[in-house]
Amino acid sequence: MQRMRDGTSFCDVVFVVQGERFPAHRCVVAAASPYFHALLTNRMKEKRQREITLKDVNVDAWRVILSYMYTAKIKFGYVDEVMQCLECANRFTMKELEEVIVPGIVDELDETTLPTVSPWQFESIVFHCKI
């Protein structure tokens, strides 16, 4: 499926994040996220739009999230990117992805990275560590 997205075969939606365009398949995105399922199937204007702009989403995090939707694999570059992905996973109600992200965050937390964690992120990390 990732090859189809990379080649834009049958892509029927384009997500625009910080000015960068990401072709995708509505069915894949909707299957991966209850948020996008509702956005793309209910009486929302986005249901009919070919291009959807995602505001307040980090482009690097979106690249990771969209790739995860297609491959169920995740690869992070730096701690801030991981935290951005956690925020996106929460925003887009991707609980399975949150559960994949948190162990990676815990492994990276130390005295230099902990001060960069917001109270919401810390709460989310603690919640998932208890599960």
In tens, the pLDDT along 55-92 reads 999 999 999 999 999 999 887 666 677 888 888 999 99
What pLDDT was estimated at residue 29?
96
User: How many Å apart are CA 77 and CA 34, to the nearest integer?
Assistant: 26
- In the chain, domain spans: 2-130
pTM, rounded to two decimals:
0.79
Per-residue pLDDT at 83: 82
Instruction: Report the pLDDT averaged over residues 36-63.
Output: 89
The pairing of strands 20-24 and 13-17 is: antiparallel
Would you say residue 115 has pLDDT above 90? no
Amino acid type, 65: I
**pLDDT reported for residue 3:** 62
Q: Is the per-residue pLDDT at 129 higher than 90? A: no
What CATH number does the domain located at 2-130 have? Answer: 3.30.710.10
pLDDT computed for residue 47 by the predictor: 73
The confidence score (pLDDT) of residue 57 equals: 95
Q: Tokens 């384009």 map to which residue?
A: 14
User: What pLDDT is recorded for position 100?
Assistant: 85
Residue 30 has pLDDT above 80, yes or no: yes
Which strands make up the sheet holding 20-24, listed edge to edge? Answer: 20-24, 13-17, 51-53
